[in-house]
Amino acid sequence: MEQVKCNTASASYDIIIASGAWQKCKDFSGRKLLVRDGNVKNPGIEADGEIVLTPGEQYKTFSAVESICRKAAQMHLNRKDRFIALGGGVTGDLTGFAAAIYMRGINFIQIPTTLLAMVDASVGGKTAADLPEGKNLIGAFHQPDAVLIDPEFLTTLSFTDLTCGLAEVVKTAVILDGKFFDKLEQLGASLVETPDFAVRYPELIKRCCELKSMVVASDEKENGLRAILNYGHTFGHAVEQLSDFTIPHGVGVAIGMTVAGTLAADLGMWKNNDASRQLELLKKLRLSTAIPRRFTPEQILEVMRSDKKNDASGIRLVLPDGIGSARVVSGVQERAMISALEKCYD
C-alpha cells in the first residue's frame, strides 16, 4: 500500500493507493449514497442508496448535480452522511460539486477508476459542472474525506482512456519535476505497449499525487501557484468544446500542451529542444498532438476568451520555462497565439 497525505487549509486527508483500496469506505461512519459512472460496475461497495450517472463530458451538467442532490434528499441524508464517487473525472467532479452544495456541504469520498482521475481530478477538491458556454464554469472547492485508488481498475480501461491519463502524467512532470519527466522518457512506449499495472503504474500515480498535493497544500483556492496545474488546459478545453466533447479530455490536454510548448519556444521561454522532447514523449504514448483542421485558430481563440482564468489583461496562459518548471503568463499577444496554433495542425 502507498499513501500520500494531502494537507490543505480546510481539510487534511489520505490518498491511499492499493489493491482493494475502495474497501476502506466501510471505515467511514454515516449513511452513504454511491454515485456511480454507468460504465463502472460496483466492486462491492456497501451503500444505503445508489444513483447511476450517464457517462460522458456532455452529461457533466447542473441537471446531473441536481439529480444527486434530490436522491440524497429523498434518502433524508444529513451532514453526518456522505457521498461516494465511483468513476472517472466527470463522476468525481459532479459528486464533489453536489456534496459542496447539498445542505451547504456534506462529506464525500473519491474512488477514481480512470488513470486521469487517479493522477489529477480526484485530488485537490476542485468540483464542477459544465455550461454550454464553457467547461467547469460552475463549481466549488470542496475537499474529499479520502481518495481511495485501486490500480486494478486500470485493467478495465480502453487504450484511449489509458493514454488520456498519461497526458495528465506528462503535464505534471513538465510543470513540476524534470527528473520525473526523464523517467517517463526512459519508460516511453512501454507504458502503453507493456503496461505494468501492479508496480510501475502505482509508482507513477503516487508521484503525481505527491506533486499535486504539494501544490494544493500551498494554494488551495488557486490564488497563485495552483494555476500552473492548468498547463495545456486553456488551449485544450477550447478544442474539446469545439468538438462537442467528442475529443476526450486527455487528448485535448495533449494538444493544448503541444500548442503551449510551441508558444513558449516562440517567446523564448524555453528551448526548442524542450518543446521537441515534450512532443516526442506525447507521441510515444500514442497521444494525438495535432489540432483537427476543422477548427480555425480564430475559433479556438474565441472560446479561450471565455476561460474562467482570464483577467483584465486578457487570456491567461500557463507556459513552461523549462522541463520541470512553468508559470502563469498574462498579456501574450493574440497574434503570437495564432502563430503557435498554426504550427500545430497535421
205 vs 211: CA distance, rounded Å: 10
**Burial state string for 17-34 with b = 16 or more CB within 10 A and e = fewer than 16:** bbeebbeebeeeeeebbb
214 vs 337: CA distance, rounded Å: 31
Residues involved in catalysis: 104, 126, 168, 212, 222, 226, 230, 233, 237, 249
Residue-wise DSSP of 230-289? GTTHHHHHHHHHHTTT-S-HHHHHHHHHHHHHHHHHHTTSS-HHHHHHHHHHHHHTT---
Residue-wise DSSP of 98-130? HHHHGGG--EEEEEE-SHHIIIIITSS-EEEEE
256 vs 239: CA distance, rounded Å: 8
Closest-CA residue to 59 (of 91, 17, 14): 91
3-state helix, strand, coil in the chain (%, to 5): 50, 20, 30
In the block, cell 494555476 appears at 227
Angle at 303 between CA 238 and CA 274, to 5 degrees: 45
83 vs 86: CA distance, rounded Å: 10
